[in-house]
Amino acid sequence: RARERRNDGFWQVRLGVSRYDFNYESRNLNSFNSLDSYFDGSDTLNIDLYDSQVETNNTNDLGDGNRNRLFMAAVINLPLKDNVTFGLGAQIAFSELERSTRYQEAFSNVRDFQLLDTLGANDLLTTTTRGLNARRTYQLDEYRFSFPVGIEYRFTRSRNWSLRFGSIFSYWRTTENDALTVTDAQPLTVVTETGDGDVQTARFDNTYQSTSSQRKEGLSETVFLYGLGYTPTENLQIDLLGFLGRTDGQGIIDTDFFRQLRFSFTLKL
């Protein structure tokens, strides 16, 4: 039987690639209704009032997209002495999401205003509409880099106890691009009808413009780690992590001490 390899050097490289396609559908309908009325119950000089308003704003964003992912990782484990091992790693993850959709927006507002004790010419029914059709392209790129480094020191005559110290530097970056190209638009139109049958229509200049926006965000952090390990047998390893917490001046009776306390059990079959 060959001797088991323990605490020796090694290197490891991993690579992963994935892609999937999907259908995208986003529908949003916002509505608003109001009613204000007054009626005195008799034909008097008081003005009876009826004022109602119904408003809707409907948007649809329909199409398809795809997402590509790439993952690479490398690990090096290097023994410095019989009881000291140094480890270094690097992880790079990239994700790209793209969507191509047909964007539609429709707005409508209908207001019915009536003064019941006056002439019909004072009654107004106003309808306001506008809308647009556009091609929308959306892209989201995400990058993540992680660089862990650590050292392990094994002590006692049996080398069953070990101390570990290390750190992980991570960097995230996100880039978001969103472009809307208007292909067709319905200008703002206001149709006003009075109680005596008069109808007036007002159309305003079409001011819809294609838009393009970009947002970038980055974040980096460094986390320091430590742990105490015990290997009672060849098949079992017990680790105690975070036992000192992260708060200055923290004692064993503090609640944060127990929040940070973690145990790990590794069983080798």
- What would the pLDDT profile of 224-244 be if each residue is shown by its tens digit? 888 888 888 888 888 887 655
Contact between 85 and 152 (Cβ < 8 Å): yes
Helix (H, G, I), strand (E, B) or coil at 194: strand
Comparing 107 with 160, the larger pLDDT belongs to: 107
**Between the CA of residue 4 and those of 8, 9, 232, what are the distances in Å?**
10, 13, 17
Most confident of 82-86, 124-128, 197-201: 124-128
Contact between 40 and 48 (Cβ < 8 Å): yes
Q: What is the pLDDT of residue 1?
A: 47
The pLDDT of 55-63, averaged and rounded, is 97
On whether the pTM is more than 0.85, the answer is no
Distance in angstroms (rounded) separating the CA atoms of residues 64 and 98: 9
What values do phi and psi take at 41, rounded to 5?
A: 85, 0
Contact between 212 and 136 (Cβ < 8 Å): no
Q: Decide if pLDDT at 257 tops 60.
A: no
Tell me the sheet residues that pair with 148: 168
Which DSSP state fits 157? T
CA angle in degrees (0–180, nearest 5) for 252-254-257: 65
Q: What is the pLDDT of residue 172?
A: 96
DSSP characters for 137-185?
Answer: EEEEEEEEEEEEEEEEEEESTT--EEEEEEEEEEEEEEEEEEEEEEEEE
- Single-letter residue type at 99: R
Residues in the chain, overall count:
269
Mean pLDDT of the chain: 86
Measured from the Cβ of residue 3, the count of other Cβ atoms closer than 10 Å reads 5
Q: Decide if pLDDT at 266 tops 90.
A: no
Q: Can you give the C-alpha Rg of the chain in angstroms? A: 34
Helix (H, G, I), strand (E, B) or coil at 34: strand
Q: Decide if pLDDT at 2 tops 50.
A: no
* Token code pair at residue 262: 């973690």
Q: What is the pLDDT of residue 100?
A: 97
* Token code pair at residue 261: 């306390």
